[in-house]
């Protein structure tokens, strides 16, 4: 089987902020820039675990169509803002975060009370704006998951009465793009250079996101490889047999015994 030229240079470049970075792989065999880039992009956007807001409860409201006195936004706008809250969840169980803020002024992620089991990363995110000196009291339920989970797939019985359950975007990667450029290897000019650009929400570094994605791909391909290898018949060489004389006692018939020939 002809050997492919494998990449000899793999580098990670930190972006202008801690949330961005670029993975550069070169040279890639013709067509493999797109193959690798597409596989990494899909895993980065869909398969990494992370934290997200799962539900919330505002004192004095019963559903998402309610209004809150002293709050500029309606409940739907508050819900959309909470979906963007970047949070790290350290355990497998859901965590309830408390928020109490007296107006007037903006309510941000930094106003959420600290909790040992979860950490709010997007402290500058504006959740809503208070227009009077009223006090806003809110419970925010966060949890760990993978990918996107719509509200229809959640069991609302698991949440207290009056809690508004929302869609959850658990993936910590906000955006992934890749480009493939031609590069030269000796006299051959159609090898490829792959650049994958990653942006996260701050709960994970772009480099860690790449490492986790590559491991997921390796784990899947390892299972395929081991399964295919185990189904292939083993070609066991049969050793030729040769006849040798057996020693005989007096009065017995002389016989020959077949034994395997040593190589």
Give the SS3 label for residue 252. Answer: coil
186: left (phi over 0), alpha (psi -120 to 50) or beta: left
Contact by Cβ (8 Å): 114, 127: no
pLDDT tops 90 at residue 254: no
Task: Answer positive or negative: Cα dihedral of 113, 105, 56, 160.
Answer: positive
| Token couple for 169 | 């975007």
Q: What is the mean pLDDT of residues 149-168?
A: 87
pLDDT tops 90 at residue 229: no
**pLDDT: is 161 or 262 the higher one?**
161
pLDDT range class, residue 262, cuts 50, 70, 90? very low
Q: What pLDDT does residue 62 have?
A: 72
pLDDT range class, residue 239, cuts 50, 70, 90? low
| Token couple for 47 | 């398969």
User: What would you measure as the largest C-alpha separation in the chain, in angstroms?
Assistant: 122
Contact by Cβ (8 Å): 121, 145: no
Is the backbone peptide bond immediately before 104 cis, with ω within 30 degrees of 0? Answer: yes
pLDDT range class, residue 247, cuts 50, 70, 90? low
Q: What pLDDT does residue 260 have?
A: 47
Bridge partner residues of 101 (DSSP): 136
Mean pLDDT, rounded, of the chain: 87
pLDDT tops 60 at residue 90: yes
CATH number given to 9-47+175-225: 3.30.1360.10
Q: What pLDDT does residue 1 have?
A: 47
Q: What pLDDT does residue 230 have?
A: 74
What is the rounded CA–CA span in Å between residue 141 and residue 87? 11
Sorted by where each begins, the domain ranges of the chain are 9-47+175-225, 49-169
pLDDT tops 80 at residue 170: yes
Q: What is the pLDDT of residues 11-70, one digit of tens each?
A: 999 999 999 999 999 999 999 999 999 999 999 999 999 999 999 999 888 777 777 888
Q: Which of these CATH numbers, 3.40.47.10, 3.20.20.70, 2.170.120.12, 1.10.15.40, describes 49-169? A: 2.170.120.12
Single pTM value for the model: 0.79
Top mean-pLDDT range of 72-81, 147-156, 198-207, 227-236? 198-207
Q: What pLDDT does residue 240 have?
A: 53
The CA radius of gyration of the chain, in Å to the nearest whole number, is 31
Give the SS3 label for residue 190. Answer: strand
Give the SS3 label for residue 43. Answer: helix
- What are the distances in angstroms from CA 99 to CA 5, 67, 212? 56, 18, 33
Q: What is the pLDDT of residues 96-155, one digit of tens each?
A: 999 999 989 999 999 999 999 999 999 999 999 999 998 999 999 999 999 999 999 988
């Amino acid at each position: 089987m002809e050997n492919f030229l494998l990449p000899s240079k793999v580098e990670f470049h930190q972006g202008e902020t801690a949330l961005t970075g670029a993975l550069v792989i070169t040279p890639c065999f013709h067509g493999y820039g797109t193959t690798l880039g597409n596989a990494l992009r899909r895993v980065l956007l869909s398969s990494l675990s992370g934290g997200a807001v799962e539900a919330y409860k505002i004192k004095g409201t019963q559903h998402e169509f309610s209004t809150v006195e002293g709050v500029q936004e309606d409940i739907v706008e508050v819900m959309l803002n909470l979906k963007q809250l970047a949070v790290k969840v350290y355990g497998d169980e859901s965590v309830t975060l408390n928020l109490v803020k007296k107006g007037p002024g903006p309510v941000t992620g930094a106003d959420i009370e600290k909790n040992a089991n979860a950490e709010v990363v997007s402290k500058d995110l504006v959740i809503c704006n208070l227009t009077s000196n009223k006090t806003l009291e809110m419970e925010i339920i966060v949890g760990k998951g993978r990918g996107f989970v719509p509200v229809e797939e959640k069991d609302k019985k698991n949440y207290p009465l009056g809690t508004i359950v929302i869609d959850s975007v658990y993936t910590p990667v906000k955006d992934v793009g890749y480009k493939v450029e031609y590069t030269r290897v000796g006299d051959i000019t159609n090898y490829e250079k792959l650049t994958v650009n990653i942006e996260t929400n701050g709960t994970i570094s772009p480099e860690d996101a790449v490492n986790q994605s590559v491991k997921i791909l390796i784990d899947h391909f390892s299972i395929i490889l081991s399964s295919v290898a185990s189904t292939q018949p083993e070609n066991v060489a049969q050793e030729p047999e040769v006849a040798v004389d057996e020693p005989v006692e007096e009065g017995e018939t002389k016989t020959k015994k077949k034994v395997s020939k040593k190589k």
